């Protein structure tokens, strides 16, 4: 991996509380990573599309309600690196 690490931070589902995601995004930026914050109420499909479009190295999901997809879901890219 060359250059800065690119991380998508997303809020899937109906959860409207984003303070924690913003704090984590800020900490990642302070650590030198490039962060793409998707905003609230994203569908899993929107998050995947953003991750692909942004050529992200990692995805951080902030889920308070637990109403989104399974936390065991992985992307093809992460499986290639394993």
Question: pLDDT tens for residues 40-70?
Answer: 989 999 999 999 999 999 999 988 764 545 5
d(CA 59, CA 39): 13
Cβ of 46: how many Cβ atoms within 10 Å?
Answer: 14
CB 13 within 8 A of CB 67: yes
**Domains of the chain in sequence order:** 6-81 (3.40.50.280)
pLDDT tens-place string over residues 14-29 = 878 888 899 999 999 9
**In degrees rounded to 5, what are phi and psi of residue 46?**
-65, -40
How far apart, in Å, are the Cα atoms of 53 and each of 17, 22, 25, 27?
Answer: 25, 21, 19, 23
d(CA 5, CA 54): 11
């Amino acid at each position: 991996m060359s250059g800065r690490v690119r991380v998508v931070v997303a809020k899937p589902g109906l959860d409207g509380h984003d303070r924690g995601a913003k704090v984590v995004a800020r900490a990642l930026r302070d650590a030198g990573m490039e962060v793409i914050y998707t905003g609230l109420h994203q569908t899993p499909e929107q998050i995947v599309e953003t991750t692909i479009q942004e050529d992200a190295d990692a995805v951080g999901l902030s889920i308070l309600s637990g109403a989104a997809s399974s936390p065991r879901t992985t992307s093809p890219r992460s499986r290639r690196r394993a």
